Structure 1
Amino acid sequence: MEEPTCGKIPSCEEFTSLWIDICPSVIPLKLDSEATLGVFHSKRSFIVASGHSVKSFIQCGKQFQEISDIQFRSLCTCTAWNSANNSLFLGFQDGAILSWKGKEGKSVRKLNKKTHRAVSCIETSSQVVASGTVEGRINVFDTTVGKCVGMTRAHIGSIICLRLVENTRLMASFGRDNFGKLWSLDRLDSPRHIVGGDVKLPQTIVHVDRDRSKPEVFYIASDKAIHIWDIRVGGITAVLSEPISALSLKYKRRITCMQVLSNGSIVTGNSDGSLLYWPECGPWNGIEILSPSYLSITSIASDSYKFLLGWEDGSVKLINNPLEFSKVDEERLLTKYMNPIQKLDLIEKDRVIVMERFGRVSALDFSVDSVRGRRMDTFCKWLNAHPICKPHDARTGAVLSGKFWK
């Protein structure tokens, strides 16, 4: 099985149904009416983790066949995929952590007992699994023997996320107490370094990301700035601020999503619909490559020359090569969903997994580079035959027809 990728929807709201639509072949799949936590996928199989169950499906022709279904009593709160041993790790509201082995889930193992401290995040590597709780505790487990090899009280309040540093025995933790801490897995009694005292971290951490070529550098995005933390240096090495303009002040612009590109530059989506770009070598206040549209950008996915943007009104737009001349040459509407976009996950060159805020999951193919109407016409014909999947106008609630895309 190829290495899956994950899209996470931290939503507790229930919805009536969940479909996976593969376009243009469009393969529907009905799942339980619960909020989706993660979708782990390869080309021909899916593993879907929801509130109280994990199901795996394999593609057979134009249909998906369910090959396993495991139900849980406690509510699943977070997930993480370990590509080294092909395992899915799940954290639960009662504090338990389970490992799901393989795409069929033939081996399910419990790593720890119920502690009644909900698991807030999980991070995994080839050797260890680290979990954070809502009370600020960190537990580290050995993936080989499944035993706890270390624990500590790391933060005051819930832990937002954990990040293991590849090829080292180091781990970074970020908590609601406004601190980032660097730990050695061999000694968890005290952190090796703390950021947040000299240079205050943001009150609202939006996203934590890393450059693939520089795993020791963390990019911490708040709603107002980006803090760059190089653990080799020890502290915050730079703070990137958004450019201040009359429009940004009027609409109280804040960062809503961030992506670190392969060349070390940074792109952020903002609450006013603008797109900001920070080249690797400056400037420090960002370049506005997409003007405000007064609708919030909620997610960004990109490859070397294409950017996909998810919007608050459910729109998914494609922009081509916006970084070459620091402006957008082309902006196209691919489709529009009923709910705001929570996450875009690019799985192939021209296919993206779209996750809406309240649970629906779709796969969108945008391989045709011709007129938008021709490509979306086929998509909308399928939608007209499946009323539950018809797109809606977020403002009026009206059902959109195929003519809308022309």
Structure 2
Amino acid sequence: MEPVIDQAFAAALYSDGDAGLDTGASLLAADPTADAELFRRGEEFVRRAWERGWQPSDVVRIVRRELDEMSAGLAADLITTETGRYEQLPSRWRSQLAELPAPPPRNRPDRFSYASALLGLYRLLLRLPAIEPVGPPPGAPGLRLRLPPAHDEPRMLTRIRALLAKAEATGFPEEAEALTTKAQELMARHSIDEALLAARTHSKEAPGACRIGVDAPYETAKAILLDAVASANRCRAVWNSDLGFSTVVGFEPDLEAVELLYTSLLVQGTAAMAKAEAGQRAGGRKRTKTFRQSFLMAYVQRLGARLAADTARVTAASVSEEGAAAGDLLPVLAARDVAVTDAADRMFPETTSTRVRGVSDGEGWAHGTAAADRARMGERRPGIDGSR
């Protein structure tokens, strides 16, 4: 059994092109007794990915990006089986595992096609580079036992998540504005409350990190949006354009806020862009790519400035509310900012700047700016149309 697998791996995993995959798949298709060992070897490749800093959502994202949806399902099957052997898992892994795609039936549509897809996946897993770890691997000492997400998420975050979901789904701009504004207020207040609580209890909590996918198309604009959201929530974001994600560094309550708000603003912005583009097409316009690029860059630039201003406003209001304790709040926030910056610099001692392509579509820029104006966070202004 093992010699057949070794021969298949030698042909398929350490070469490029389809010829090696075909040779390996032919060997495996002809030997059904190799199936169990073949799958076990795949679990080993997944385990090595954890050791290199990857997490379940990272693996599925890169597989989907480099291969196809079927391969993503194959990876999900391996991940589910491999992580099932641990009594303890990192807290963020629970939600990632719950969102894995459904695995395809094994050995379908036929043994050769299935083996070829599996070998292609193994080739990719074998070549994954080491990346910066954003948490402990599964099975690490001190991890909490796996629990359903409802027992792990603070009530405040559940409420924020529900508000943003409604903002994305509604077809009424005024309702979306009210829901998103309320969610932003809760985020900012929650972050400040957590900072004060940590200071008063002398918490030893240190900044953590998470990875958020930044997918094509228009990934540069999306990465800039994520950076703006991260900065407004006292986090740092570092974009890896080659692997399609940004790593966000910050304290846990702020990381939750960044992920929720970025996802919501991206959904709302995409909906507003589609609506504006439809209007352009109705007027006879055909150049949609430049319109979209300009729209999103304007949307991101305006939102970045607005989010920064809103954070300053909420912080100032909190200082006023604290009264005599105001002297405690500002040093606490400053200390957390320094801790986040230091943590990010340790994780990424060398970063480079990305050149942003010029904006060439005036109408796209104007519509994107208007959409960002409607998406304002914190003051009573018109909201963005979150209809799909």
TM-score, length basis structure 1: 0.26
TM-score, length basis structure 2: 0.27
Bigger helix share: 2
Bigger strand share: 1
Per chain length, whose mean CA-contact separation is higher, i.e. which structure has more relative contact order (CA < 8 Å, sep 6+)? 2
Determine which structure has more spread, i.e. the larger CA radius of gyration. 2
